[in-house]
Amino acid sequence: MSSIRQEEAPEFIDRVRYKTDASIEEEDFALDIKLDDEDEKIELSTSTPQPQSKLHIDRKKSALEMGIDEATYNELLQDYIDDLSIGVEQLKDALSQGDNEELQKIAIRLKGMSDNMRIDEIAELLKELASNDQADRLTIIDTLQSKVKILLGMV
């Protein structure tokens, strides 16, 4: 348990919430904030952090490979994130309904989009989801959802 002064809390929370390096990290841990009026200190305790997810996208390289400028790539990335977010929800629905054919169709479509955007880590997850009936599909879909959250933080 660490203690910081009350006036330092917003800065500390901002440091925890936002990263400035090239790869965005998702940190899944809860902060318990307790105010102690006598000392004007805030005590912060964190639960055990979950494994961090990273997702690195080299926008310049990807744009160059696609033959477009970086601004256009960023516009396409936003559209991709929107479509991926919807697609992951569709994957969850197909899984809950036991519709393996629909799940495979959606996974293949999203994999193609991910390949086109040069986002290999997501493409690999979708490939595994589409090609393996024995895969832990719910875990893969949950991982995809966490990647969507990371992507949303990048744009």
Q: What is the DSSP letter of 58?
A: -
**Structure token pair of residue 34:** 């307790």
Class level of CATH domain 57-154 = mainly alpha
Predicted local distance difference test score (pLDDT) of residue 31:
38
- Per cent of the chain over pLDDT 90 is 56
Q: Could you tell me if 91 and 106 are in contact, meaning their C-beta atoms sit under 8 angstroms apart?
A: yes
Cβ distance 118 to 62 under 8 Å? Answer: yes
The answer on pLDDT for 23 being more than 50 is no
Q: Give domain limits for the chain.
A: 2-51, 57-154
* Residue 20 burial class via C-beta count within 10 angstroms: exposed 0-12, middle 13-18, buried 19 and up: exposed
Helices and strands, counts by H and E, the chain: 6, 5
* Percent share of the chain, pLDDT over 70: 64
